[in-house]
Structure 1
Amino acid sequence: MIPQEIAQTIIDPKAYADGVRVDDAFARLRKDMPFAQAHPEGFDPFWVVTKHADILAVERQNELFHNGDRATTLTPIEVDRKVREMMGGSPHLVRSLVQMDNPDHFAYRKLTQSWFMPQNLKKLEARIREIAKGFIDRMADMGGNCDFARDVAFLYPLHVIMEVLGVPESDEPRMLKLTQELFGSADPDLNRNRAEIADADAALAQIGATVGEFIEYFNAMTEDRRACPRDDLASVIANGQIGDQPLGHLEAMSYYIIAATAGHDTTSNTTAGGLWALAENPGEFAKLKSDASLIPSYLEESIRWVTPVKHFMRSAAADTEMHGQKIAKGDWMMLSYPSGNRDEDVFEDPFAFRVDRSPNKHVAFGYGAHVCLGQHLGRMEMRILWEELLPRLEALELAGAPKRMEANFVCGPKSVPISYRMH
C-alpha cells in the first residue's frame, strides 16, 4: 500500500500546480512501489500505474481494462454517488469517446476520425498559418512584454478548433471560460464561483452548471446544423449516425464538449509550457533558433515535458495479474502519464528539457485504441506556430514567476509572463 502522504500528494490539485511535489512523489513510487494501491481519504482505493511499460500494457488491453465501467477520472466517493443518482446509475456526467468501450468506442470514433487524419488536415494548413501569423503579429505589437499563456497560447488553438467545429469567433471567449471552469474546477482563479471548493455538493453543482451551459449552446447548434448543414465538424456530429440511428443526445453533446475543450486546452498548455521551458533554458532556445529542423523534436519534448493530461482511470473487467500483483475484477487503476513521461528506464535524464531529445516515446497522447483523436491537429498547430514565431523571436526571458493551474486531471500553465525582442 502506498504511504498515505504520497497517496494524498498524487491526488492534490495544489501539488500539480507546484509541480515539484508531485514529480518527487511519482519518482519515489517508480523506484520503490511501481505498481501499488493508494487509499487516499474520501476516495475508493485505486492502483497507481507509474511505469511507462505498465501504462502501455494497460492501454493495449482494451477488453481487459475498461474505460466505461467506473469514473474515467479520479472522482471522490461522494461525488461519484451523486453523479450516479443524477445519471440513472451511470458514473459519467458526459459520455464521450473517453468514457466508451467497444463496440461503441469504435463506432463513435469512426464518425469523425477522417477529419483528424494528417491527409485531411493538410487542407487546413494555409488557414492555420494565417491564424498563427495574426497572433504573432499581435505579440510583436505588444512592446516586448506579454503573458504568453493568456495572450497567445490559450487563444490560438482555441480559434483553430472553433473554426473547425463551426463556432463563431464572437463565442470564443465563452468557450474558453467554460473550458477553464471544467478543467480548472478545483482552481479558485478559474472555477465557476471563483472560490475554494467546499464539498462534493459544491463541486458537482459547479461542474453540472458548466456542462449544462455547454449543452444549451450545442443543442441550438445541432438544430441549426440539421436545418442547414455546413462543411464543419458540428454538422458531422449533428447529422451523424451510428448504425442507422442518429447519435444519442448525451453522446452528441459529449462529442461537442470534448471537441470544444480538449480540442484546444491540451495544445494551449503544451504551447505555453514549451515556451516557458525555452525561457528557462537559454542554451536550448539558442540551439532551436540556430536549427529549425529541431522544431519537430522540440514539439515532442514540449508534449512530454508538460503532459497536460495527468491521468485517466481504467477498471479491470476480470481478475488478472500485473507487475506481480493480483488485480480483482472491478479494481480501479490510475494511469499516471507524467510519471510515465519521467520514467528513468525510458528517458535519459528525464528531468532535463532537451529540444533535440530522440527517441522520445512519450505517452502524453495515450496509446492504442484510445490514443488522442486530435493529436495530429495539435502537433500541426504547434509546428506552424513555432515555424512562424522562432525566426522572429530574437531574445526571450521570464518576466515574473509562471503559474500552473490547480488541477489533478488536465493541468498546465495559467500564466507565463515573458519579456522578449522580436523583429
Structure 2
Amino acid sequence: MTAPTIDEAARSVADPKAYADETRIHAALTQLRRAAPVAHVDAPRYNPFWAVTKHADIMTVERANNLFTNAPRPVLMTAQEEELQAAAQIRTLIHMDDPEHRVMRAVALDWFRPKALKAMKERIDELARIHVDKLRDAGRECDFVQEVAVNFPLFVIMSLLGVPESDLPRMLELTQELVGSQDSEFQRSTSPDEQMAALLDMFEYFSTLAARRRDRPTGDMASTIANAVVNGEPLGDIDVVSYYALIATAGHDTTTSTISGGFQALIEHPEERRRLTDDLDLMPTATEEMIRWVTPVKAFMRTAAEDTELGGVPIAAGDSLLLSYVSGNRDEDAFTDPFRFDVSREINKHVAFGFGVHFCLGAALARMEVNSFFTELLPRLKDVEPAGDPELTATTFVGGLKHLPIRYTLI
C-alpha cells in the first residue's frame, strides 16, 4: 500500500469515516505532524481551513483566544450545514468569544465547582453501582456501549439538569442523532435539513422544560439556567435552550466515549488492567490516560482575527484552523511513547478538554464519572474478552466506540 500524499492525509481530517478507522486516521495525522503540521485542507463540500496537528501549535492557538476566535466557525461542518446553523441562530458557549463567553459561562459555573461536585459524588457513585449491577445481571455477554456506557453518563447529566427519568430514552435518541449525525447508524437522514430537524426537536423539548422551570423553579441546573439574568436582562429563550442542548450532548456523549474506549483499552492491555485493579490509587492517572487515549472531542475550529503565522506558516485574517486534539494527544514531542496505553502515565498534558478560556466546563464532572465507574467495576470484574468486533462512530467532531461486544464474568 502506498502512503497517502500530504493533501490526501490532510483531507482525512474532514472525512467522518476516517475516524471510524483508527489505523487510517492515526497514520494520516502522524504523517501531517512530521511533514505538514499546519496543512491547508481543501475538501469537497467544506470551506477551506488549516489543519493544526502539533500539540505545541494547538496550545499556541488555545492561549491566544483574542487572536484566534471561536466565532464564526467553532466546529467543522460542511458549507451547507454552516449556513443552516447560522440561519437557525444556534448560540452555545462554543460559538461565543469573550466578553460574552465569560459572562455566559458563569451562568452554570457554580454547578461544576469542587463544592457542588463533592455534593454530587454520592449520587454518581450510586449510579455507577446501579449500572455495574445491570452489567452483572445482563449475563455473560453484552454490547457494553449500548447496554451500559451510554446510560450511566446520561443518567448523571439528566439528574443534574433535572430531566425526569421517564424522558431519558427520548434524550438518548436525540443526543445520538445529533452527535451521530455523520454516522449512517445514528443519523436521522443524510439530508442536512433533516439533520437540523433533530436539533430543532431537541430545542422544542428544552423550550418546554425552560417554560416549566421559569414557572416553577426546582433547584436543579435547568432552573438556574432558565432563570438566569445576564447584564441585567433575563436570558433569552434561544440562549437557554442552546445552553441545555450543550450540557446534554457534551455532558453525555463525551463521557460515554471515554468509558467505552477506556474499557476497550483495559481489555486490550490486560497487564494495565491488572495493575489498575491491584492498585486503585492509580485511578486518577488512569482516568487521564483514558481521556487522552480516546480523545472524544476530535477537534474544534478557530478563526484568525488578523494576519498572523503559526509554525512558520502565514495565516490570513479570516482563515479557519482545525485544532486536531486527536493528533495533539499522540504527538511524539509532547508524550513519551504516545501510542502506549499507560495507567500510571504521570506527565499527561493532554488537550482532550481544550485549554485556556474555553477549557471544558464539565471536565471535573467527566473525570469523576470515569473514576467512579471503574472504581466500582474493576474489583468485581473476574474476566473479560471480546465477543465480536468493536465499531467506531463516523464523525469529525464528537465520538468514539458505538459497539463493544464483550464476554465477561462479574460478581
* TM-score normalised to structure 2 length: 0.97
Deviation track 1:17-63 (CA, whole Å, cap 9, x = no partner) reads: 11111110000000111112111122222111101111111011111
Deviations 1:139-159, CA, capped at 9 Å, x for gaps: 111222111111111100100
Find the aligned partners of 2:85 and 2:403 in 1 and give their Cα distance. Answer: 32
What is residue 178 of structure 1 aligned with on the other side? 174
Among 345, 353, 365, the alignment partner of 2:353 is 365
Equivalent residues in 2 for 1:8-407, closer than 5 Å: 8-68=11-71, 70-84=72-86, 86-87=87-88, 93-193=89-189, 197=190, 202-203=191-192, 205-407=193-395
How far did residue 82 of structure 1 move?
4.3
Query: After alignment, is 140-149 or 362-371 more displaced?
Result: 140-149
Rate the CA distance shift 1:222–1:81 in 2: closer, same or farther, 3 A.
closer
Question: What is the CA deviation profile of residues 187-235 of structure 1, one whole-angstrom value per residue up to 9, with x for unaligned ones?
Answer: 1111114xxx2xxxx12x1221111111111111111111110110100
Residue-by-residue CA offset, 1:368-412 (whole Å, 9 max, x unaligned): 000000001111111111111111111111111110111111111
TM-score, normalised with respect to structure 1: 0.94
> Shift of residue 306 of structure 1?
0.5
| Pairwise CA distance, 1:356 | 1.2
Alignment length (residue pairs): 407
The question of whether the paired residues in 1 share the 8 Å contact of 2:10 and 2:39 is answered with no
Measure the CA separation in 2 of the matches of 1:374 and 1:171: 22
Q: Tell whether the 8 Å contact from 1:4 to 1:40 is kept in structure 2 after alignment.
A: no
Q: What secondary structure sits across from 1:235 in the alignment?
A: helix
Contact 2:297 2:352 in 1 (8 A): yes
Q: Which runs of 5+ in 2 are unaligned?
A: none
Question: Partner of 1:395: helix, strand, or coil?
Answer: strand
Letter in 2 for 1:23: H
Tell me how far 1:282 sits from its aligned partner.
1.1
Residue of structure 2 equivalent to 1:417: 405
Could you list the per-position Cα deviations for residues 122-178 of structure 1 after superposition, in whole angstroms to 9, with x for gaps in the alignment?
011111111111111111112221111111111001001101001001111111111
Please give the secondary structure, in 2, of the residue aligned with 1:218. helix
Question: What amino acid is the match of 2:135?
Answer: M
Q: What SS does the aligned partner of 1:308 have? A: coil
Q: 2:179 & 2:276 partners in 1: Cα distance? A: 32
Q: 2 CA distance for matches of 1:247 and 1:207?
A: 27
2:81 is aligned with what amino acid?
Answer: V
How do residues 1-12 of structure 1 correspond to structure 2 at under 5 angstroms? 3-12=6-15
Query: Considering only aligned residues, what root-mean-square deviation do their CA atoms show, in Å?
Result: 1.2
> What is the identity, as a one-letter code, of the residue corresponding to 1:101?
D
Q: Deviation digits for residues 314-364 of structure 1, max 9, x if unmatched?
A: 000111122111111101000000000000001111111111112111000
CA distance in 1, matches of 2:346, 2:91: 37
In 1, Cα distance between equivalents of 2:395 and 2:118: 34
Contact 2:304 2:316 survives alignment (8 Å): yes
Structure 2 distance, partners of 1:399, 1:208, is: 36
Shift of 1:289: 1.3
CA positional deviation for 1:77: 2.3
CA distance in 1, matches of 2:268, 2:283: 17
Matching residue's letter, 1:247: L
